Structure 1
Amino acid sequence: MDQLIATKQNSVGEIIVSSRELHEFLEVETPFRKWFPRMTEYGFVEGVDYTLDIFVHPLNKQETADFLLKLDMAKEIAMLQRTEKGKQARQYFLHLERMWNSPDMVIKRAMDFQQQKIVMLETQIQEDKPYTEFGKVVSMSDGAINIGAFAKLIYDKHGINIGRNKLLSWMRDSGYLIKQEGAEKNLPKQKFIERGWFKVRPTVVKRTSGDIQTGTTLVTGKGQVELTNILLSAFSEKAI
């Protein structure tokens, strides 16, 4: 059977139909903006039977609403028209359904799904590449180090010639560490702790007026990888 109406698959592999293309095929005289809301009154539920799809119309370049229908809804709408076109559409959808559920198609979908998993795995490997290049074991470990040790590490491994004090200044100016004077100066901002870039090791400073509780900023393995990539882009040995 020739393709009467274009179809595609949604994210879970179900056949879906454009409501606008179906409206056009059925040659309904009622404008689409009035017709589709009437069709939904037959008990169809958004998010279950159909989903909203916004696209840029190729003619007027305006954002336009379409609705992607599951096959059961498309069949029922076609039947509701009670026209020859409606009958043709319903027969076409029934044919698609039979083909879709045939053993060959079931096997093909399983193979396609497996191929998608392979592609996703390959993509993940590429995304993980920066970690493997700098030592993914370190990035995932709890091997947090202080700022001075991190400054030495990036110089030894990457030639970024920046000492502890300059590195602290850069981290403050870049918004990673707290700038304000006081006990919290040079401690990491909370959002970067939550990202897993930093840890704070509690420290007690003994003074004659009384002990003060403060903290030492440590760069985690993940933070070392992320910050090194940023520093490599921001600095060169000549510039520092």
Structure 2
Amino acid sequence: MINLVVIQKRQAVTTSLQVSETFEKQHKNVIQVIENLVAENSATKNMFYEGSYENRGKQYKMYYMNRDGFTLLAMGFNGSKALEFKLKYIDAFNKMESQLKPDLPGTYKEALQALIQKEEERERLALENQMYQQQIADAAPKLNYVDIVLKCPDLLTATQVADDYGMSARKFNSLLHDLGIQYKQSGQWFLYEKYKGQGYTKSETTHFTKTNGDKGASLLTKWTQKGRLFLYELLKEHDILPTIEIMEDDAS
């Protein structure tokens, strides 16, 4: 693998396109994770900036990211193969950043100062690596679940989402009602006004024939992947976790 890291605006960076190719992720999913990170915390805006690339004569969006941005993004990539690629990226960042550093000054005093700065940088990177490893351990359950969500582009019924939490659809719908997310009318569930238009759900109309021969219609509300992530964050605030995270916590 070459060109994992490049120089852009006097900074060592990689791209969302390169990351998606290296870690075998869909580029649109990598972009979605980056945009979610930026939306959740404004401090991450300095780690990513938008760019573009050409494919068959058309321009498409991608993101550049520095070392910190890559570290934050790569926390969600798990497995021995992913670890191997992370180490290759770290090595590539180190080599590229070393090219940006000026030569040691000529005077003895300046040389000592440069050596002190280098040692402080080494200590900073060592501490950053320890923090990075801890963050991976702490964040792994959530990221594992988020990875599952991002890999699934389909709409989901309440029964399917409820199964993430080991619940029946009836219990899950009642829980969302108690939390002020949805209400029931004429046997069908609807989102409250504050949650409408957010892209959390999509409705499908089903036509059927009644026992007396009359035609009828019912509205089936399905959850999008955005809605699934919204429910995850909301329920987590109430200490309600998907079974996959509960099992991993018990195993640890």
TM-score for the superposition, normalised by structure 2: 0.37
TM-score for the superposition, normalised by structure 1: 0.38
Whose helix fraction is larger, Structure 1's or Structure 2's? 2
